[in-house]
Amino acid sequence: MGNKQTVFTHEQLEAYQDCTFFTRKEIMRVFYRYQDLAPQLVPLDYTTCPDVKVPYELIGSMPELKDNPFRQRIAQVFSEDGDGHMTLDNFLDMFSVMSEMAPRDLKAYYAFKIYDFNNDDYICAWDLEQTVTKLTRGELSAEEVSLVCEKVLDEADGDHDGRLSLEDFQNMILRAPDFLSTFHIRI
Amino acid sequence: MAQPLAFILDVPETPGDQGQDPSPYDESEVHDSFQQLIQEQSQCAAQEGLELQQREREVTGSSQQTLWRPEGTQSTATLRILASMPSRTIAASIGRSRGAIISQYYNRTVQLRRRSSRPLLGNFVRSARPSLRLYDLELDPMAQEEEEKQSLLVKELQSLAVAQRDHMLRGMPLSLAEKRSLREKSRTPRGKWRGQPGSGGVCSCCGRLRYACVLALHSLGLALLSALQALTPWRYALKRIGGQFGSSVLSYFLFLKTLLAFNALLLLLLVAFIMGPQVAFPPALPGPAPVCTGLELLTGAGCFTHTVMYYGHYSNATLNQPCGSPLDGSQCTPRVGGLPYNMPLAYLSTVGVSFFITCITLVYSMAHAFGESYRVGSTSGIHAITVFCSWDYKVTQKRASRLQQDNIRTRLKELLAEWQLRHSPRSVCGRLRQAAVLGLVWLLCLGTALGCAMAVHVFSEFMIQSPEAAGQEAALLVLPLVVGLLNLGAPYLCRVLAALEPHDSPVLEVYVAICRNLILKLAILGTLCYHWLGRRVGVLQGQCWEDFVGQELYRFLVMDFVLMLLDTLFGELVWRIISEKKLKRRRKPEFDIARNVLELIYGQTLTWLGVLFSPLLPAVQIIKLLLVFYVKKTSLLANCQAPCRPWLASHMSTVFLTLLCFPAFLGAAVFLCYAVWQVKPSSTCGPFRTLDTMYEAGRVWVRHLEAAGPRVSWLPWVHRYLVENTFFVFLVSALLLAVIYLNIQVVRGQRKVICLLKEQISNEGEDKIFLINKLHSIYERKEREERSRVGTTEEAAAPPALLTDEQDA
């Protein structure tokens, strides 16, 4: 609070603090990480709200994301146009949701969107197969993958329509207290 | 001629819809014609219904997944109707906040607008037709609807208080840019202020002032939060550990941080109320101070003896007593404006209050963690939880990530194997054998624990019997060393024995190992407590036995630390070197979380046991914990790898806190209560030297208050009727039991309700699918009729052309 920063106006910082789960220091830290990704592209002065997007290739090469099999989906879900290229707002939003102060419902909502590969607002069997394949690096046999998907649908599908809606997913997350600690990225 | 419909039916779209987004006009047409349709079809409804029911019966016989046709195969009319179902529009669902629903719907409409302009990157499978939402395109009123939803959200936000507004804003699943615009809109002063400046001038002024105050407090709160966050140390270290080893190993270090916090709180209270005053008014020393050799750091005796570190140093008088008071005058050095400070009372009540505060904090954190981690019906759904909740997003290294993927694969394979095994149950003989082996291993482990306790008892008796020369200070270290070695070696033995057991569930294995280790430690600590309070008090009559017990606990703490260092060195570093060089294995040793956490709990129990006799012991524990953190971190990063079994990190945290509260803290509290109520303090040292029990200091003070006058008579009354009277304690216990029983019944009732609701959801789902299929078949028939009608009119219109064709052919 003592050091003067010229990146954001006071109102901008306050708005960020109110709309994310970050404090001033953390917002500045996240900003400098964003700036580090593309120093030529990202200006050091955001008071004029420049329209800058860092391409997905650079986002996906961040140390926090580069070994995550779901990094492409994460970037797609949080980016504005669903293509993986993120503005500073998208970037802050992503790390705010993945921080440890975000509530369970919010995390469950975004986790649902990440695992919904075809963006049809339902996790169908195909989405599940993609998830399991990415989780196991493709080392389970096709039969095992389909068996796992079947058991998952058996357990989590409440209205028995063969796919998971957001409510089914949230109900399942409520029964998994671990979710809050695993769906968490530190920056 | 009616052929049974196949499930995957490719219904071609009507020519009007080909390649064009449907306009809003079609929708209203569809809605109007729906009524008509029902009337038309009502005649053949019975026959249709029968046919459909037959098909449904066939369907329910087969697997559930084919119940739902992929959306691309349904007619556009059906899709339009589905799009206007209440669950996909704004609806005040029970149990969900209106704001959440509105914001979700708003999110969908905004994304829809964006999606229509740019295609998606990535996987675009042919069979997954574009989402249902795209058929809901209402291009012209789109922007208007968005405005409508946004104004609804803004109104929702404005109706809340500022703190709640921020909370709701943060929790909304919207993008950051939209949240900022919502925040701007909801922060502008309300219309009525701007519109009517004259009316209610004072009220609006007050309101604006209040609003400004609230905003100022809000910024202050934010500033405080960032200051508090700056105090949390080790952020980068914890991030590195989490990145390389995952949440489970991280939970050990977070537990260590929690223990540091507890000890800091304890130390603060003790320094402020006991050590501070005593240091300000030091008593006369009994003799010349002994020379400090290096051995004090290990034994705690020697030149540490007559310092604020131990009980014996504290005076039993009222400090800063004004001269002339006949009560227990010893020092007569009044200071101007100073308050008299009753040391015995302060000592007793500070220890009591700090234990009470620790108890409340522990129970609260344990209950909070338990509430987070326990769920009704949480044992089912293990496959879904493994798939969706087991990937640890904290892991950032390539090797750790690959390890995690291997772990998940192994876990899934194990789950599938378990499921198959359950379908082929084991024979009775096999189960008997399993039970026998289990019983034998348990017996051996319990025998080991008992044997260790006996060994400690025999050895401590031996130490009492053998004469200790004055110069043999090092002999005092033998008992702690023996106990420490037993504590270290016996769990290894139990682990070897556990390898003989059949492994059914890996999580159960861990719990059983923790249980056995805990029983061992409890047995040893129980024997030691008997040795100190039962035997040493008798042997050291006439000397300061409290000092001796305080020093013993200090020695135990230090020896525990030394042995932990050695264990880390040999268990991790040397083992890694051996396994890499000699055995040529690529696997590093695993970090044994359970054993390490139990060691932390053991150290904390020793601290709590010793607080009464050595008020500076929490400071020693803090230094020890800091060193342990750095040593363990270095060893972990250099020598270990992440555990094989995927750990339920949050369950484990709850278990650790519960273990800290129940056996550890409760045992220490019982020890403290026994020492305060039953044991006679030594008559040569300490603040209670003239009393029969330590608790009498309180009684003496109450009697003094009674004599003081009627103004404070309520305190002796409270003491006599509430604290000394056992009836009150019985009443409170009975009330607590009744509350606990009621809560158990409530939970049972809730479980029943959950079962019923699940059934209801399942039934509703089936109803929905039935209705959708029926709707689909109705539209299909309508289209078929249309096509056949069009076909016959075409035939009637152009017979000559056909005839010429036929002639040609």
Percent of chain B past pLDDT 70, that is, above it, reads 72
Q: Residue A83: its chain B contacts at CB < 8 A?
A: 118, 120-121
- Mean pLDDT over B377-382 rounds to 69
pLDDT tier at A117 (50, 70, 90 boundaries)? very high
| Model pLDDT for residues B275-296, shown as the tens digit of each residue | 888 888 877 777 777 777 777 7
Hey, are the CB atoms on A176 and B378 less than 8 Å from each other? yes
Q: Residue A80: its chain B contacts at CB < 8 A?
A: 114, 175, 177
* Separation of alpha carbons B7 and A76, rounded Å: 33
Q: Which of residues 651-680 of B touch A (CB under 8 A)?
A: 651
Same domain, A42 and A72: yes
Which residue in B118, B382, B649 is closest to A181 by CB distance?
B649
A64: in domain: yes
Are residues B354 and B269 in contact, defined by beta-carbon separation less than 8 angstroms?
yes
Please list, in sequence order, all residues whose beta carbon lies within 8 angstroms of the beta carbon of residue B720, skipping any fewer than 6 positions away.
Answer: none
Q: Please give the structure tokens belonging to residue B478.
A: 């033998």
Which of B241-245, B532-536, B704-708 is the least confident region? B704-708
Three-state DSSP at B68 gives coil
Q: Residue B389: its chain A contacts at CB < 8 A?
A: 173, 176, 178-179, 182-183
A148: in domain: yes
- Picking from A20, A28, A23, the residue whose alpha carbon sits closest to that of residue A44 is A28
Q: How would you classify residue B108: left for phi > 0, otherwise alpha for psi between -120 and 50, otherwise beta?
A: alpha
Please list, in sequence order, all residues whose beta carbon lies within 8 angstroms of the beta carbon of residue A14, skipping any fewer than 6 positions away.
Answer: B219
Angle at A173 between CA B241 and CA B177, to 5 degrees: 80
* H helix or E strand, kind and range, residue B511: helix B506-529
Mutate to test the interface with B, among A100, A182, A184 (most CBs of B within 10 A): A182
Same domain, A178 and A134: yes
Q: Residue A32: its pLDDT value, please?
A: 93
Are residues B302 and B295 in contact, defined by beta-carbon separation less than 8 angstroms?
yes
* Cβ of residue A99 closer than 8 Å to a chain B Cβ: no
A23: in domain: yes
Q: Residue B121: its pLDDT value, please?
A: 30
Which of A76-85, B235-244, B328-337, B357-366 is the least confident region? B328-337
Residue type at B488 in one-letter notation: L
User: Of A102, A127, A161, which residue constitutes the final position of a domain?
Assistant: A102
Domain extent for A115:
104-186
Q: Residue B120: its chain A contacts at CB < 8 A?
A: 76, 82-83, 119
What's the Cα-to-Cα distance from B621 to each of A132, B108, B631, rounded to whole Å?
Answer: 46, 55, 15
3-state helix, strand, coil in chain B (%, to 5): 75, 0, 25
Q: Residue B322: its pLDDT value, please?
A: 61
Are residues A97 and A106 in contact, defined by beta-carbon separation less than 8 angstroms?
yes
Same domain, A82 and A22: yes
What's the Cα-to-Cα distance from B238 to each of A96, A185, B242, B256, B374, rounded to whole Å?
Answer: 18, 12, 6, 12, 26
Q: Residue B104: its pLDDT value, please?
A: 60
Q: Residue B92: its pLDDT value, please?
A: 32
Hey, are the CB atoms on B383 and A174 less than 8 Å from each other? no
Residue type at B197 in one-letter notation: P
pLDDT at residue B96 tops 50 = no
Mutate to test the interface with A, among B129, B388, B412, B652 (most CBs of A within 10 A): B388
Same domain, A98 and A161: no
Q: Please give the structure tokens belonging to residue B291.
A: 């020379």
pLDDT tier at A61 (50, 70, 90 boundaries)? very high
pLDDT at residue A34 tops 80 = yes
Q: Residue A26: its chain B contacts at CB < 8 A?
A: 229
* Cβ of residue B369 closer than 8 Å to a chain A Cβ: no
Q: Residue B497: its pLDDT value, please?
A: 86
* H helix or E strand, kind and range, residue B319: strand B318-319
Number of domains in chain A: 2
Are residues B626 and B284 in contact, defined by beta-carbon separation less than 8 angstroms?
no
Same domain, A163 and A121: yes
pLDDT at residue B668 tops 70 = yes
Hey, are the CB atoms on A80 and B175 less than 8 Å from each other? yes
Q: Residue A146: its chain B contacts at CB < 8 A?
A: none
Q: Residue B329: its pLDDT value, please?
A: 46
Percent of chain A past pLDDT 70, that is, above it, reads 98
Query: In sequence order, what are the beta bridge partners of B341?
Result: B319
pLDDT tier at B737 (50, 70, 90 boundaries)? very high
Same domain, A137 and A70: no
Same domain, A120 and A54: no
Q: Residue B384: its chain A contacts at CB < 8 A?
A: 151-152, 155-156, 172
Query: In sequence order, what are the beta bridge partners of B641?
Result: B590
Which residue in B235, B375, B395 is closest to A175 by CB distance?
B375
Hey, are the CB atoms on A136 and B408 less than 8 Å from each other? yes
* Cβ of residue A103 closer than 8 Å to a chain B Cβ: yes
Cα B504–chain centre separation: 26
Averaged pLDDT score across all residues of chain B: 76
Q: Which of residues 4-23 of B touch A (CB under 8 A)?
A: none
A134: in domain: yes
Same domain, A67 and A150: no
* Cβ of residue B755 closer than 8 Å to a chain A Cβ: no
Residue, of B79 and A102, whose pLDDT is higher: A102
Q: Residue B477: its pLDDT value, please?
A: 86
pLDDT at residue B376 tops 90 = no
Hey, are the CB atoms on A76 and B122 less than 8 Å from each other? yes
Rounded to a whole number of angstroms, the distance from the CA of A5 to the nearest CA of chain B is 16
* Cβ of residue B503 closer than 8 Å to a chain A Cβ: no
Q: Residue A14: its chain B contacts at CB < 8 A?
A: 219
DSSP secondary structure letters along B708-735:
H-GGGTHHHHHIIIIIS-HHHHHHHHHH
Angle at B682 between CA B677 and CA B687, to 5 degrees: 75
- Mean pLDDT over B220-243 rounds to 75
Q: Residue B100: its chain A contacts at CB < 8 A?
A: 105
A129: in domain: yes
| Nearest residue on chain B to A174, alpha-carbon basis | B375
- Mean pLDDT over B547-567 rounds to 92
Hey, are the CB atoms on B175 and A89 less than 8 Å from each other? yes
Complex ipTM value: 0.92
Q: Residue B377: its pLDDT value, please?
A: 59
User: Of A86, A102, A118, which residue constitutes the final position of a domain?
Assistant: A102
pLDDT tier at B93 (50, 70, 90 boundaries)? very low
User: Of A38, A72, A102, which residue constitutes the final position of a domain?
Assistant: A102
Hey, are the CB atoms on B387 and A152 less than 8 Å from each other? yes
- Mean pLDDT over B215-242 rounds to 75
* Separation of alpha carbons B444 and B424, rounded Å: 31
Same domain, A152 and A171: yes
Which residue in A68, A120, A140 is closest to B412 by CB distance?
A140
A2: in domain: no
A114: in domain: yes
pLDDT tier at B187 (50, 70, 90 boundaries)? confident
| CATH code, A88 | 1.10.238.10
Same domain, A158 and A85: no
Same domain, A113 and A159: yes
* H helix or E strand, kind and range, residue B490: helix B478-498
Are residues A76 and B120 in contact, defined by beta-carbon separation less than 8 angstroms?
yes
A1: in domain: no
Same domain, A119 and A93: no
| Model pLDDT for residues B390-447, shown as the tens digit of each residue | 888 988 888 888 888 888 888 888 788 777 777 666 678 888 888 888 889 999 999 9
pLDDT tier at B130 (50, 70, 90 boundaries)? very low
Residue, of B198 and B751, whose pLDDT is higher: B751
